[in-house]
Structure 1
């Protein structure tokens, strides 16, 4: 029997039409994806069947972790993909989606959905639907993701029997939307469309060939001329680099070439930490006012006379601007040029740097001797804890050519990680966390994506997780995937048996662990190796051993939940909070500290 498509457009055209599932795989591959994180389910089964022969469909321990792994994939690959079933699977991903919105991560959340023929007045399983309702709700997941400010859409089948659907075309444009705007999208796919025909796509020859819309902003020559004039009047300029550079390798390369050509030092914001090699001779590390422990803090506060501020966020965020303490010198620096970027893929900033890189600017004579030196080596006999973890790891990284890719969990581990000095990683990132959104539960799902990427590329970077026991117990079910993936990770397990960050009493709710818990038996069950250490010398020894080991390598550090064992950043933050609350001794100490700075 002749189909309607044949009747309307001919047999050759009808025979050429691909199935939607195949087109979706084409699009994912076009954007450089070969891995999709997810959890299986009834409404997702057809999607899995359509794509599993071409893509690596990676199971996660739960949907939220699948979303977090896709966020990490977006951090290192420029685009992440997550697949779940309808509502019961997709709704748990809203936490990861909120992270993606907040951190500017292009993640494509794909959910199976009821077939179009199934949508009617009868409520079916998986629908979020009160039994006293007069109305059947099928759009609750779409509405939930839309409430986060995301682009959402349910793909549709044909609406005329002679005209094939455009679902494949819509999928391409939704993925492109995520890529170009650095924001997540949510797509529901009715299960009866997956093996239905959709219109042919002629994919562009490359990502660079996609028409994104021209940069219609003009005046880059005048902006560059002003910057050149400022530089000519400067003795100690610097570049201050923000988190909007995360997914723009072209602009990052231009900025680094500009810095090297004219010998202008650079620092990143806290949110942009890990984007550049902090062992580079021009790097001043990550700067955040009085909380800065890296090598360039003193130089920035006392010597810099002109700041070129590039790709920092439009809205100021307290975490990124010294928690509103008023000590962030760059935030209120008068002699500063801001290039925030207002076009897709920051094309307006790229134009400015294309002018600057060809300018006639006399190179400056900056050297790190002008900046303060690193802290002295930590005494090997000292107990290892949060207060000295970063300098010890910095010493180990200094000795190792293998880049460590740090993945600190929210909490004490996160604050301690800002004093880490990171090498340039083959992944383009050497420090991955969620500093703005701050959702606990991301470190191991992030590390899983990082370890898979390192293994796939054949590089020798090392994923290093820093995590407290609160965060560890929250997500240790993700360890099974390091065993299944046969990937390598070093986990620094800072054990103090409490949720210490934000602890405001001795209630049982803060006690996240038991002293009877045997983490070494758990790691052994995952065919990993574990160590316990007490001193700095012990830690150095077992950490170096862990780098030679395969699979899960866990180092248990018996941390103390006391103020003197906290990292400097957290002690300062707690002091500031006490001072703001009117604690007399804290007010006096804070005033003395800020006068010195």
Structure 2
């Protein structure tokens, strides 16, 4: 089909038309991004050529890790981008896509695709179909991502003579959808369309000005008046913050300004941990019922007389509400105003807090709870049961914020005892708490280490990981060497998959006693040590500060109940009680009554 744009719209218009690849690069930059993660391939080759002049494309060790890194990018930068080839490249990203759906991450998964001219009755390599199929199947990846609840599309070329294709505008619209809804999207780009001409775009002044980005909900003044009335009748109010706030810096700053102006203490849900400086005198830490280990637990459960709950999930989530144990005092608190947010980009909540900050509200006489700081015996063996306390003692002295990246498992649960400083990159604790996917700690850490390096901050990326997760992600270590970034890995070695272990079956064995982790780290030009006591651990951790690249501290953990962190011991006790274990039932009742 001939273009004939100059005949239809004139030569001047024809010469102004950009290529689709150029528009895609412009769109990504419009949303404030200069990098993406991916793995190359034949159907993605044209995309790489078109985009590499606009943005940095960082290679990942595999497609799933590219997707995980894009998820981490969305966590700290507001949006993430992943590039793969057709089908064989994009389908491994479904684990990361599931994570992005669950955690509400605007990740744009871009896949190269066969040229429109190649679509016929002949099956092309990378396609998935049985050899007895009656037709070639080209939509498997689109259907797979759509099955996760994602918006998906394949960009299309010119359909009418004299009319440039709409692929560039369609790309903009689906990326804008991800930005507005905080959900991932999947886009296939036929390789013959990358350098085809498309309509020129005229961008809004900023991403916040995209269509329908303003608050269209009324009644903000009435909601604010209700909150003001409740606050004026309260003595011990509490601000309880949820995870829907973690991708909205404007709302986050307004909430903190509100807390400070009226001297109202705040706590976060477990899923919102790491958003704020937990060393702040107004922060009561992350609250989750009986599993809460912070000093703010008694204030929340014994003093609070009014709760203003902000940006928690629309749907109740069991691990965020004390695993449905009925011990979450704020879940059904009677005197509570709940602001979930019903507008795109939480513009309705922003409007409410802007009104509250100019209202007649008393400054409260909040007294900081008295914290007991009993130091650990420095000769005590280091393990999951005291890891968080040891790190908290180091962080209390060190003004450099640590950005913790725990892997799902024992490492994840022990990390809730960590006291997190306010990070310069906006997140002091980063994981996937809803278990949308496993194996994310090192791909996440790679992005955090890059972010710290790019911004010139002195924050420190600290991974906490067991040997199961470590072996699962070993191939990601090469990127810390290539990027010349720094990471500290606390390697909790117990040689088994411990979380959820219910027998001695071989499937739980994830390591071998003869495995030499130090030789592996040396191969990546890194530094490593093995620690037995708390004192040795602290010395090694502090020494890692001065070393670029990979720094690993091996902790020989023991898979016994006495060495588990308190949160995990409680969870195991609760699970046993629900399974009818008489002793566990009695223990649980004693704790919760």
- Report the TM-score, using the length of structure 1 for normalisation: 0.98
Give the aligned partner of residue 353 of structure 1.
353
Residue 294 of structure 1: how far off its partner (Å):
1.4
- Measure the CA separation in 2 of the matches of 1:10 and 1:217: 44
Is 1:263 paired with 2:278?
Answer: no
Give the aligned partner of residue 487 of structure 1.
485
The superposition leaves residues 154-204 of structure 1 with CA deviations (integer Å, 9 ceiling, x where unpaired) of 000010121110111111111111011000000000000001111111122
- Measure the CA separation in 2 of the matches of 1:3 and 1:271: 52
Among 436, 444, 447, the residue aligned to 1:446: 444
- Measure the CA separation in 2 of the matches of 1:9 and 1:306: 64
Is 1:288 paired with 2:288?
Answer: yes
SS in 2 for 1:586: helix
The superposition leaves residues 211-270 of structure 1 with CA deviations (integer Å, 9 ceiling, x where unpaired) of 324422111111111111111111110000000001111111111010000000000000
Among 546, 556, 569, the residue aligned to 2:567: 569
Among 457, 468, 471, the residue aligned to 2:469: 471
Give the aligned partner of residue 537 of structure 2.
539
- Maintained 8 Å contact 2:274/2:430: yes
Give the aligned partner of residue 150 of structure 1.
150
- Maintained 8 Å contact 1:403/1:461: yes
Is 1:513 paired with 2:501?
Answer: no
Give the aligned partner of residue 216 of structure 2.
216
Is 1:113 paired with 2:108?
Answer: no
Give the aligned partner of residue 86 of structure 2.
86
Which blocks of at least 5 consecutive residues in structure 1 are unaligned? Answer: none
Greater shift, 379-388 or 46-55, is seen at 46-55
SS in 2 for 1:285: strand
Residue 336 of structure 1: how far off its partner (Å):
0.6
Greater shift, 96-105 or 433-442, is seen at 433-442
Give the aligned partner of residue 308 of structure 1.
308
- Measure the CA separation in 1 of the matches of 2:184 and 2:587: 44
Matches within 5 A, 1:104-503: 104-368=104-368, 371-503=369-501
SS in 2 for 1:434: coil
- Maintained 8 Å contact 2:408/2:435: no
SS in 1 for 2:192: helix
- Maintained 8 Å contact 2:213/2:345: no
Give the aligned partner of residue 588 of structure 1.
586
- Maintained 8 Å contact 2:98/2:436: no
Residue 348 of structure 1: how far off its partner (Å):
1.1
> How many residues matched?
593
Give the aligned partner of residue 32 of structure 2.
32
- Measure the CA separation in 1 of the matches of 2:15 and 2:335: 65
SS in 1 for 2:40: coil
- Maintained 8 Å contact 1:410/1:438: no
The superposition leaves residues 408-442 of structure 1 with CA deviations (integer Å, 9 ceiling, x where unpaired) of 00000000001111111111111110011352200
- Maintained 8 Å contact 1:407/1:464: yes
Is 1:23 paired with 2:23?
Answer: yes
Residue 375 of structure 1: how far off its partner (Å):
4.1
Is 1:100 paired with 2:96?
Answer: no
- Measure the CA separation in 1 of the matches of 2:144 and 2:370: 50
Residue 367 of structure 1: how far off its partner (Å):
2.3
SS in 1 for 2:309: strand
Give the aligned partner of residue 526 of structure 2.
528
SS in 1 for 2:321: helix
Greater shift, 234-243 or 201-210, is seen at 201-210
- Measure the CA separation in 2 of the matches of 1:450 and 1:458: 12
The superposition leaves residues 507-549 of structure 1 with CA deviations (integer Å, 9 ceiling, x where unpaired) of 1111100000000000000000001100000000000001121
- Maintained 8 Å contact 1:38/1:59: yes
- Measure the CA separation in 1 of the matches of 2:28 and 2:372: 45
Residue 209 of structure 1: how far off its partner (Å):
2.7
Residue 207 of structure 1: how far off its partner (Å):
1.9
Which blocks of at least 5 consecutive residues in structure 2 are unaligned? Answer: none
- Maintained 8 Å contact 1:68/1:96: yes
Cα distance, 1:32–1:535 mapped onto 2, change above 3 Å: same
- Measure the CA separation in 1 of the matches of 2:209 and 2:471: 46
Residue 585 of structure 1: how far off its partner (Å):
1.3
- Measure the CA separation in 2 of the matches of 1:428 and 1:239: 19
SS in 2 for 1:312: coil
Give the aligned partner of residue 553 of structure 1.
551
- Maintained 8 Å contact 1:278/1:423: yes
Cα distance, 1:181–1:3 mapped onto 2, change above 3 Å: closer
- Measure the CA separation in 1 of the matches of 2:3 and 2:354: 55
Task: List, as ranges, runs of 4+ consecutive aligned residues in structure 1 with deviation greater than 6 Å.
Answer: none
Residue 146 of structure 1: how far off its partner (Å):
0.4
- Maintained 8 Å contact 1:282/1:367: no
- Maintained 8 Å contact 2:3/2:164: no
- Maintained 8 Å contact 2:267/2:285: yes
Cα distance, 1:135–1:374 mapped onto 2, change above 3 Å: farther
- Measure the CA separation in 1 of the matches of 2:302 and 2:204: 51
SS in 1 for 2:513: coil
- Measure the CA separation in 2 of the matches of 1:329 and 1:33: 41
SS in 2 for 1:192: coil
Cα distance, 1:274–1:213 mapped onto 2, change above 3 Å: closer
Residue 376 of structure 1: how far off its partner (Å):
1.1
SS in 2 for 1:193: coil
